[in-house]
Amino acid sequence: MFAILPLLGRFLVGRFMTRRAAIAVQIVFYAIATLVLVATSPAHGGTYTSGALLGLILLPLSAGALLLGQGWQRRAHKA
């Protein structure tokens, strides 16, 4: 559940911030989400390795969310 909130946040950050600022915020959000996933995975019946794998899966998803948000921003400025 924690990984969904940063994805939505990245999408909105890509929409409302400049590209450089959005990438910086994205890196911070990704680091926090990955740390929480790894740290809490044993409490949810997993291992630290499974939390790290989920973090790796989150990487392309977060980049995609940022690109979608930036595309939304470009479309809004054209209109």
**Angle CA(23)–CA(53)–CA(43) in degrees, nearest 5?**
105
Q: Is the pTM of this model over 0.75?
A: no
If one counts the domains in the chain, the total is 1
pLDDT, tens only, 7-66: 676 667 777 778 788 788 888 888 888 898 899 989 888 899 998 998 898 888 888 877
d(C-alpha 30, C-alpha 8), whole Å:
12
Taking a C-beta distance cutoff of 8 angstroms, is the pair 52, 46 a contact? Answer: no
Full residue range of the structural domain in which residue 18 is found: 4-78
Least confident range of 2-6, 11-15, 60-64, 67-71: 2-6
Contacts of 62 (CB under 8 A, 6+ apart): 6, 7, 10, 26, 29, 30, 33
Q: 25, 13, 11, 22: which is closest to 61 by C-alpha? A: 11
